[in-house]
Chains A and B, each alone.
Chain A
C-alpha cells in the first residue's frame, strides 16, 4: 500500500495535468446535458483587447476575472505566450495536444483505479464510528492549531472524516463523472450522465472533483510537513513512525509529550 500510495499520487498528478490539457480543447463548462454555447457556467478565454494587449480571463456566469499570463493567455509550450486556458507548465503534454492528453488521462485513470483498489482494506476502516463523532468537537478544538499536535500512529476523527470524504465521496464522483463523459459508457448506462444532471454537467462535477482533490493535496502536504516532515516521510516510505511513548500506549497526546522517550510503532498501512 505504501507503493500504491506513491503510485496513485503520481497518477493524480498526471490525471490533473492531462485533464487540463483536455479541458483546453474546449475551455467551457455548461450546467446542462448539451452545451448552451452562449451561457457557459465557467469559461476560460483570452485574446488581444482593443489596444492590442493580451488579455486572459476566467468567466463565472457573466463575471470576468482577469488572469492574464496564467489562465486564458499564457505560455503555450513553444517558448512564447498565446491564447490558452491552462498554461503549458500545467498541462500534459505541455504543447496543445488533445490526442495525447487523452491517452495519458485514460491510461492513468486505469492505474489510479487499480491502485485505489489496494486501499480497500484501509478505506473500510474509515467509516466513521459513533466514538469518532463524539470525539469530533474535542478534535476540532485541539487540531485547529496543528503545530500543537504530536505525531500519532492513530488517526484522529478529523483526519478520518477528511479521508472518508475523499475516498467515499470525492473520488467516486471523479470516477463516475469521468465515465459519464464517454458516449460508449452512456449507451450502456443512460442513468450515469443523468445522475450528474447531464453530460456537460458531469464535466462540471469532474472539474469540481479535481479542484477538491487539489485542495486536499495541499492540505495533506501541509499537514505532513507540520506534523514532522522527516518522521512522516520515513513512515510513508519505510512503514515505521516514531511516536512519543505515551501516545504509543494510547495515552492523551500533550504538546510536552514530544519530550518523552520515543518509541517506534508501525505506521498506518
Chain B
C-alpha cells in the first residue's frame, strides 16, 4: 500500500472514530445534565435586574432587518388579516390575571404610551442587525390586566409554525417581563412591522438573543410555572436551546 493511501485511510478512520465517540458523548443523558449546570450559573449571574441594552442613533439602523425564525403564517385567516389592515386581529391576555382582556391594534396604539428604541438584534446564529422598534411596553399591558400574586411566567403564543403545525412560543419570567425595554412592537423603522419580521405584533427583548423576541404574538398567557403544554418555555428551548437567552 502506498504510504499516502495508508495515512489517509488511517487518518480518516481515526477521525471517524473520534466523531463517533464525540457523538455518543453528546447524546449521553448524564453529560447533558452536567452541561446544564453552567447554564444555571449564567442565569443566576446575568438574568436579574434591569440593565438597559445600548440604544443607537438613527444612522446606525441596518438597511435591511434580516428575518429570523419562521416564515409568516400560511393560514387563510392570517392572509385575510394582513390584507385588511389587521381588522380581525386581537391580542388576548389570559391566565393568572384579575382582568383577562383582548386588544386590537388600535387599542394598543391608543390606550398605552408609545415607546421607541433603536437596539441591536443578535441572532443565536451569530449575526446582528440594528432596527428601530416602536410599540408598547409589555409591562404596561400586563399591569392593565393585573397579574395575580402567584404569577410566575408570561408565555407568548404565536401564529407561526415550523411547517408541522407546531406553533412557535416563548416565555419570560415576571422580572424580565417588567424590563422597561421589553416591548410589544407594532412598528419597525417607523413602518408597520413587515410580515417577515413578525406582523402585526412582535415581542422585542433586546437584552437576550433573537429567538426570545417572539414574532406574530396573538396570545399572552400568565402562568405560575412552565411545563405542561408550555414545555421548557419556548419552541427552541424544547430543542436544547437555553431558556435564558442572554448568552
Contacts and interface: CB of A to CB of B under 8 A. Distances in A.
A22 B123 CA distance: 12
Interface string B208-247: 1100000000000000000000000000100111101111
Contacts of A199: 120, 122, 128
A17 B54 CA distance: 31
A110 B126 contact: no
A99 B240 contact: yes
A100 B207 contact: no
Nearest to B53: A187
B18 interface: yes
B60 A186 contact: no
A127 interface: no
A106 B125 contact: no
B23 A93 contact: yes
B127 A35 contact: yes
A46 B127 CA distance: 19
Interface in A59-91: 77, 88-89
Interface in A174-219: 181-188, 190, 199-200, 203
Interface in B15-58: 15-16, 18-19, 22-23, 26, 32, 34-39, 41-42, 46-47, 51-54
Q: Which range contains the number of A residues in contact with the other chain?
A: 35 or more
A26 B66 CA distance: 13
A28 B39 CA distance: 26
Interface string A76-120: 010000000000110011110111101110110110000000000
B143 to A, nearest CB: 23
Given A93-B26, A107-B38, A183 B206 contact: yes
Contact of A94 (B19, B32, B51): B19
A33 B130 contact: yes
Contacts of B42: 106
Contacts of A17: 22
A203 B126 contact: yes
A268 B113 CA distance: 65
A34 B60 CA distance: 9
Interface in B116-148: 120, 122-130
A154 to B, nearest CB: 37
Nearest to A191: B54
B74 interface: no
B150 interface: no
A109 B39 CA distance: 11
Given A26-B125, A92-B22, A102-B242, A187 B51 contact: yes
- Looking at chain A's contact residues, the main secondary structure is helix
A96 to B, nearest CB: 11
A10 interface: no
Contacts of B245: 183
A22 B128 CA distance: 15
Contacts of A182: 46, 246-247
Contact of B53 (A89, A100, A107, A186): A186
Interface string B54-81: 1000001010101000000000000000
A57 interface: no
A93 B129 CA distance: 28
Contacts of A30: 127
Contact of B19 (A33, A37, A88, A100): A88
A23 B247 contact: no
Given A33-B128, A94-B23, A187 B120 contact: no
Contacts of B206: 183, 187
A24 to B, nearest CB: 9
A89 B19 contact: yes
A99 B37 contact: no
A48 interface: no
Given A33-B60, A187-B54, A199-B122, 8 more contacts: A17-B22, A25-B125, A182-B46, A183-B206, A183-B209, A187-B53, A199-B120, A200-B128
Interface of A: 17, 22-23, 25-26, 28, 30, 33-35, 37, 77, 88-89, 92-95, 97-100, 102-104, 106-107, 109-110, 181-188, 190, 199-200, 203
18 contacts: A26-B123, A33-B128, A35-B62, A35-B127, A89-B18, A97-B240, A99-B240, A100-B35, A102-B124, A102-B241, A103-B32, A104-B26, A106-B42, A184-B47, A185-B246, A186-B53, A187-B206, A187-B207
